[in-house]
Structure 1
Amino acid sequence: MTSPDACATAVAPPFTADAVRAAYDGAAARYAELFADSLRDHPVERGLLAAFAELVRANGCGPVADLGMGAGQEPRVRRR
């Protein structure tokens, strides 16, 4: 059995916020291109997002922060 310390030496030091931001920014355009229509074949999910947005607007709430809604394939839908 390998000790936890042996594995820790193979891992790079923690990333800085700038490094993480640069990695996400570098992948964002391609990711958006790949998943732009991810809800096309999912009418229930589209309906749930639309109902949520309608409730937010009807109650004068907003903006809404998306914290942990999966991989973020629907940002354009949520932005509307």
Structure 2
Amino acid sequence: MLAPEAERKAIVPFLVDGVDHAEVGKKLSERKICVRTGRHCASLVFEKLGLDGCVRASVAFYNDIEEAEMFLSAMEDITRGS
């Protein structure tokens, strides 16, 4: 996780070791899971970190447990290379 303090926040930026952030976004999109990828209007921050971008997941009051479980299942598959 790029922002450990985000553990209990609604917006979580992250990377997956060995998988490009855009590819993570594409794989999630194929499962109808919407995230943002890229530099998120913070190019200078990403440049300073030496990163090309990240994935950003958000949750809100309208998300339910089923959607969270779908996201976690998809992320498990992505991190396993499935």
Alignment TM-score > 0.5, same fold? no
TM-score (norm 1): 0.26
TM-score (norm 2): 0.25
Q: Pick 1 or 2: higher relative contact order, CA cutoff 8 A, min separation 6.
A: 1
Greater strand percent: which structure? Answer: 2
Greater helix percent: which structure? Answer: 1
